[in-house]
Amino acid sequence: MEFDLIARHFTRATPGAVLGVGDDCALLAPSPGMQLAVTSDMLLEGRHFAPQDSPAGIGHKALAVNLSDLAAMGATPRWATLSIALPAADDAWLAAFARGFFRMAELHGIELVGGDTTRGPLTIAITAIGEIPPGQALRRNGAQAGDDVWVSGVIGSAAAALAYRQGRLFMEQIDAAKVLPALYLPAPQIALGIALRGIATSAIDISDGLLADLGHILERSSAGARLEFAALPVLPVLQAYLHEPVARECVLAGGDDYELCFTAPAARRDAVRAAAETAGVAVTRIGHITSGPGLTVVAPDGQPLPVDKTGYDHFDE
């Protein structure tokens, strides 16, 4: 049964691997002179997605969140492994999941080279592998005082969609429809990460919330930051709800954006904008790195904005 499921839904040609699905291990040969970037993420039903969510959407998101980590390092995606625990062998669910997974994989040139299946609570674990030239990885520890802080795309939409779904944020149905895709179909910023090689001094993807993830850069870089709340890029439909504390929390600490937050010297602003144009992605300068510790968000009136929550806690009940 297990091998039939694998063969039916997950065995595809892998011309970029020495050996793909079908043996005890995959055999991979990185391109000459390249380093491997490896990341793993796990998604659990009831924690990261709901039982009623589309299996195709779950397949898309499960791979997208891993590719977002590669994007944050400036890596080019190459391969992935996929392990799934299933309550039962549900052929229709797996077929739809595989459609979403492989649609994302084909978009970014990823080959599935192995994995595992077993019975258990619905859990998806993916390891994604990319390549990057030595010395060009975007890391978290390079931010310097005076660097600009940038984000790609818009933030807060996915968290607002979840808050709406949970009944914590009232939105008109027509407005909610504009933020829901961000929750279910995130787009990893692979092209931007690659374009920022040699320009950005640090980078991270926004998975747990802007303040929490930027906080990781500040911790590793022994620096602080000052952000302008009015500069944060949000959809116009969400802008209309920012008088609500929960909406402001979605923007600052909601997570699930999978945009890039990165730093670069002020002298490289033109290079950042050129990289963004090459990648076809909008970027916004939202603040700057400070020499002293701490992260301050400044309200439009110039006063520090009180922040009760900085991001998603994986162990919070």
| Higher pLDDT pick, 26 / 270 | 270
The answer on pLDDT for 9 being more than 80 is no
Binding site for substrate, by residue number, is: 48, 256, 312
CA-based end-to-end distance of the chain:
36
Q: What is the pLDDT of residue 70?
A: 98
Binding site for Mg(2+), by residue number, is: 24, 39-41, 69, 116, 205, 208
Average pLDDT score over residue span 30-42: 96
| pTM for this prediction | 0.93
For the stretch 194-253, pLDDT in tens is: 999 999 999 999 999 999 999 999 999 999 999 999 999 999 999 999 999 999 999 999
For the stretch 280-293, pLDDT in tens is: 999 999 999 999 88
Q: What is the pLDDT of residue 80?
A: 97
Ordered structural domains, the chain, with CATH:
2-132 (3.30.1330.10), 148-298 (3.90.650.10)
Other Cβ atoms less than 10 A from the Cβ of 219: the count is 12
**Mean pLDDT, the chain, as a whole number?**
92
Answer whether 188's CB lies under 8 Å from 71's CB. Answer: yes
Q: What is the pLDDT of residue 15?
A: 86
Percent with pLDDT over 90 in the chain: 81
Q: Which residues contact 129 (CB under 8 A, 6 or more apart)?
A: 28, 36, 37, 38, 77, 78, 79, 80
Both tokens of residue 248? 């402001």
Measure the CA–CA gap between 136 and 97, rounded to whole angstroms. 34
Q: What is the pLDDT of residue 13?
A: 80
The answer on pLDDT for 98 being more than 80 is yes
Binding site for ATP, by residue number, is: 115-116, 140, 207
Binding site, by residue number, is: 24, 39-41, 48, 69, 115-116, 140, 205, 207-208, 256, 312
Average pLDDT score over residue span 82-97: 91
Average pLDDT score over residue span 61-84: 97
Average pLDDT score over residue span 117-122: 91
